[in-house]
Structure 1
Amino acid sequence: MLYPELFKQLESVRWDMDKDIPWNEFDASRLSDEQAYTIKMNAITEWAALPATEMFLRDNRDDSDFSAFMSIWFFEEQKHSLVLMEYLRRFRPDLVPTEEELHAVRFEFEPAPALETLMLHFCGEVRLNHWYRRAAEWHTEPVIRKIYTTLSQDEARHGGAYLRYMKRAISRFGNEAKAAFSKVGVLMASARRTAQALHPTNLHVNKSLFPRDTIQSRLPNPEWLEHWLDKQINFDAAWESKVVERILHNMSLLMDRSFKSVQELNRYRKEITASLAPAGAPLPSAA
């Protein structure tokens, strides 16, 4: 089991909201209304760990090890929402999310293949680590800068934990796991080709609720994420390249094969998928 070791590792570096956040360094002159509003949107987005955990537990009923790890992930992700709300409670109480605004992002996700979902959330952690690093640079108020840096480090550790479960999946399921991981890896490393940000909170997850079946679509301002990325923290091509590089690097480690580009990973995906196809079955598309 991975859970006992991961619990010990993550417990040893867990931060304390009272002791490790320098609340007394707050400088009101360095927090704009624009910046404060983005903190509210992030707080609501982080609350979406609740429906995500419900999805993980439902779709991994046969995996008690991973389900136990969800107790760590869920606690730390909800803590992210909590610390952002605490910041607002202390310094901009007019912007604290209401319970109704938080509850709006709790809805049922349709069942999905567990391996693909695991890879999707691994990539999401990589991306969020970079988004929060950039947010820490964009903000000018010292306390929220510290908070975003702290959150970014948590997201990196979560990505590392997911990677451990991905390695375990390959040892158990072989090419089936490799095919699932490479498929999602190609998608999530191709964000520059899409109009919207590729992150679990911005993907459609319930056809019956379309178009309000993404986390972002249920925010008070559904257009917030793209504006935050493009106009505020300026998550540009250079930063996006850092995300792609991390995904490709970790795919290379997982598959024991070097991937220098998304195109190389896609060729590998086709190769692995073809190896799983029964004799006479059509080859995967060239997409």
Structure 2
Amino acid sequence: MLYPELFKSLESVRWDMEKDVPWERFDPGLLSDEQANTIKMNAITEWSALPATEMFLRDNREDSDFSAFMSIWFFEEQKHSLVLQEYLRRFRPELLPTEQELDHVRFEFDPAPPLETLTLHFCGEIRLNHWYRRASQWHTEPVIQAIYRLISQDEARHAGAYLRYMRRALTDRGKELADQARAAFARIGVLMASAKRTSQALHPTNLHVNKSLFPNDTVQSRLPEPGWLDRWLDQQIQFDREWESKVADRILHNMSVLLGRSFATVQDLNRYRKELAGS
């Protein structure tokens, strides 16, 4: 099982909301209304770990190891929402999300193949790590800069944990599952490393997950400002082609190590995907 080792390693680097966030350094003159509103949107977005966890537990009912790991992931992701809410409670209480706003992003996700979902969230954690690193640079107030740095480091560790479960699917569960896993990893990897070719921000919270609620079946569509994510990325933190290339490169590097092939470009990974489909 991976869960005991992951619990120990993640517990050893866990940050404390009171001790490790420099609340005393808050400078009100360095926080604009525009910046504060984006903190609210991210606090609500992070709350969507709740329905995601419910999805993971439902779709991985036969996998106790991974389901146990969800206790760590869920705790840390909800903590991200909590620390952002705490920041607003202390310094911009008028922007604190309401319980109704939080409830609105809790809705049922349609069942999906576990391997594809695992890969999607692995890539999503890489993307979040880069988004939050860029957000920390964009903000000018030192406390929220520190919070985004802490959160971004968590997201990188979560990606590493998901990668461990992806590797397990290739090595510990038999040839049939390994073949399925390679196909799933390549398929989702091509999608998630291709953001430069799409107008859509490729993250699990921005993808459709419930046909009966379409088109209001993405987490982002259920926020108080459904279009905020594109504005945050394009106009505010300016997550440009250079930053997007860093995400793609990280995904391709990990896919190369995982699958034992060198993928310098998305096209390389797509060719590998086609090879698997043909065989």
Q: Report the Cα distance in structure 1 between the residues aligned to 2:104 and 2:170, rounded to whole angstroms.
A: 36
Runs of 4+ in structure 1 off by over 6 angstroms are none
**Partner residue of 1:23?**
23
Q: Report the Cα distance in structure 1 between the residues aligned to 2:258 and 2:65, rounded to whole angstroms.
A: 20
1:122 aligns with 2:126: no
1:176 aligns with 2:180: yes
**Partner residue of 2:209?**
205
**Partner residue of 1:163?**
163
**Partner residue of 1:278?**
none
TM-score by length of 2: 0.98
Cα deviation for residue 273 of structure 1 reads 1.8
Summarize the alignment of residues 46-195 of structure 1 with structure 2, pairs less than 5 Å apart.
46-171=46-171, 172=173, 173-195=177-199
**Partner residue of 1:270?**
274
SS at match of 1:222: coil
Cα deviation for residue 100 of structure 1 reads 0.2
Structure 1 letter corresponding to 2:59 = D
- Root-mean-square deviation over aligned CA pairs: 0.4
Cα deviation for residue 3 of structure 1 reads 0.1
Q: Show structure 2 runs of 5+ residues with no match.
A: none
Q: Report the Cα distance in structure 2 between the residues aligned to 1:169 and 1:179, rounded to whole angstroms.
A: 12
SS at match of 2:58: helix
Cα deviation for residue 170 of structure 1 reads 1.1
Structure 1 letter corresponding to 2:265 = S
Identical counterparts, % of pairs: 77
Q: Report the Cα distance in structure 1 between the residues aligned to 2:113 and 2:90, rounded to whole angstroms.
A: 42
Q: Report the Cα distance in structure 1 between the residues aligned to 2:95 and 2:208, rounded to whole angstroms.
A: 27
Structure 1 letter corresponding to 2:71 = S
Structure 2 letter corresponding to 1:92 = R
Q: Report the Cα distance in structure 2 between the residues aligned to 1:114 and 1:256, rounded to whole angstroms.
A: 22
SS at match of 1:29: helix
Q: Show structure 1 runs of 5+ residues with no match.
A: 276-287
SS at match of 1:97: coil
* Among 235, 241, 247, the residue aligned to 1:237: 241
Structure 2 letter corresponding to 1:162 = Y
Q: Report the Cα distance in structure 1 between the residues aligned to 2:244 and 2:166, rounded to whole angstroms.
A: 23
Q: Would you say how many aligned residue pairs link Structure 1 and Structure 2?
A: 275
Structure 1 letter corresponding to 2:98 = T
SS at match of 1:129: helix
Q: Report the Cα distance in structure 2 between the residues aligned to 1:236 and 1:135, rounded to whole angstroms.
A: 12
Deviations 1:74-103 (A, max 9, x none): 000000000000000000000000000000
SS at match of 1:260: coil
1:224 aligns with 2:242: no
Structure 2 letter corresponding to 1:188 = M
SS at match of 1:221: coil
1:246 aligns with 2:255: no
Q: Report the Cα distance in structure 2 between the residues aligned to 1:61 and 1:274, rounded to whole angstroms.
A: 31
Q: Report the Cα distance in structure 2 between the residues aligned to 1:57 and 1:175, rounded to whole angstroms.
A: 23
Cα deviation for residue 274 of structure 1 reads 1.8
Structure 2 letter corresponding to 1:133 = R
Cα deviation for residue 20 of structure 1 reads 0.3
Q: Report the Cα distance in structure 2 between the residues aligned to 1:6 and 1:195, rounded to whole angstroms.
A: 36
Structure 1 letter corresponding to 2:224 = P
Q: Report the Cα distance in structure 1 between the residues aligned to 2:186 and 2:2, rounded to whole angstroms.
A: 23
Cα deviation for residue 195 of structure 1 reads 1.3
Q: Report the Cα distance in structure 1 between the residues aligned to 2:217 and 2:249, rounded to whole angstroms.
A: 29
Q: Report the Cα distance in structure 1 between the residues aligned to 2:119 and 2:25, rounded to whole angstroms.
A: 38
**Partner residue of 2:200?**
196
